[in-house]
Structure 1
Amino acid sequence: MFHATGVGQHEILYENSAARIIEALLYNFDFDDFYGHKIRPLKPAHTKFLDEHVIPLLEGGKGHIWIQGSASRIGTSDWNMTLSQVREGSVQAYLLDNGVNADQIEVNAVGSSLTAHHALDDDRDRSVLIWVYPNIDHKPPTKKVPKRPKTSTTFRIAVDGSYPPLWKRHHDHISWGGKIVKKIVKKLPISARDIPFIIWDTTNNLACKYIYIGVEFGFDLSIGSSLPEPHGPWTDFTTEKAIGCWQFGRDGRLTTMGDWKTAATYIHIETPAGVKNVHAKIQLGIAVKGAQGSTTLAGDFDLMSRPEPFGGP
């Protein structure tokens, strides 16, 4: 039979807001809260937690959430499974009502199957366990909760020696587009270019590939250039908070002054909200025959691959 159990409680098990990660337990749901087959609203403390800590991480389709409902040992297995389904369903419904898309959510109910050695009515068993992780590859969440994404504050960046397959045909369009831009604005020193980069998480030995795409203002007295092989020189940089190697961009800017040997470049890369953007002096390693100098008018730094194991140079 239903009875109220007081204020809803929560415990944050792990949180990294910069990387858009949180793992938490919402507990002390009312006892028998589906008694009479009546759906009861979430407790205010639980909705407040979802509003402040969970929904912001899911806005704009940027995250996935896994929701697991649970019940205490009192009652039959079938009824406890129903209670856990109702609890995870209540959290899911609240998220949907507040702008989270259905394809960002994966739900599971475990009844009282995880409570065999607990007290008969432990308030932490009348609960919903949630995991919120960033959407790395823009696909619906898997059925199984994945491992927590790895993050770091120590990275290296270098120009890649080849264009990712995903981008190769677009590179050809950029090259033609650059020629068209020059014809249209031939009296102005404006050009378009794209450069492949690797960002290496040196803590976890993971790397992602990126493409810088920019419309630039400057001069070009060169007669050609070529990418370094297999990649350019590495530049170390750090972030003030731990993030994933897939979380850089989209805004990116380059300021370059070069000669026939190499180009000395200052790079700016956007980072997640709450983390200072990256500003670093790097060596592109791109051989330039002649001289170039430019600064970005508008630029993107776009992710081209999910994190892959990387052992370094």
Structure 2
Amino acid sequence: MEPEEGTFLPKVDINVARWDQSTYIGRAKYYFSTTNPFNLFIPSSDLEKAKILLDKYKLGKPLTGVTIDDIYKAKEQVDSAFHPDTGEKMILIGRMSAQVPMNMLITGCMMTFYRSTSAVIFWQWINQSFNAIVNYTNRSGTSPIPNEQLGKSYIMATGGAVFTALSLNKVLHNAPSIIGRLVPFIAVAAANCINIPLMRIKELKEGVPVYDENNQLVGKSKIAACKGITAVVFSRVVMCAPGMVLTPIIVNWLDKRGLFKRYPKVNLPIQLGVCGICLAFATPMCCALFPQKSAISVINIEPELQVHCFNFF
């Protein structure tokens, strides 16, 4: 039942996710909402209306014909398009909702044209360029990553991915085709292992804030930073795995049965389709593997901080 005109809605904290982020299911629901590709098709006018509605709700103004569900829907739309710190509208391909379609296209092409040296270089470069755009678009508004660091990370991740892919292609030249089809996954995994630590090198050098059970700041821990960044690298690699491992297995099976010899034009569409299906589930489910706020045992951090029990961000 909708409220009457001018009704004051119940106050809820819309600065936090709608679902319980201490559980995997709650985090998965949040990321399914955040990475929903259909958010890309929301007109700018509707996004502006959602932002205005959300601002009115935050100010406690009476609203006409609006329910709490409408408020949460507006929040999902605003979160999908506007930067959480600056409030600026993010570029389209840098948004989280662009992750699935963009990665579907890039990954599908990487695995389709994996034999050609020029294609390997081109698509690994495109992949790391896209990652750089995402990193820049979603950079912190309060502690932004310097452009110099973004550039260094981009160059080294691209170089690492291209070197890994070309080296493995040369070494595995006579290996079974299924092995060759897995080279793009190994190259992307290697690039993630380079890119993410470089992007967060400041945290590794200075540590991340840690808090005790009363949410009081204790200090900064490099060990906690290392643990957190390792978890991010792991989740990113696992996120790539379903599409970049399952797709080659399916495609190799179809290739052995002569499908692509009879219908060569279906090769790329099939790879894109399988990748898209895998990514639609793997992206939100792997983002949800670890909570943004995690606990760490006292005995596993620096001695000077071990006198406290805490959580770290």
With the shorter chain as reference, the TM-score category is under 0.3
Which TM-score applies when normalising by structure 2?
0.24
Q: Which of these two proteins has the greater Rg computed from alpha carbons? A: 1
Which TM-score applies when normalising by structure 1?
0.24
Q: Which has the higher contact order (CA 8 A, sep 6+)?
A: 2
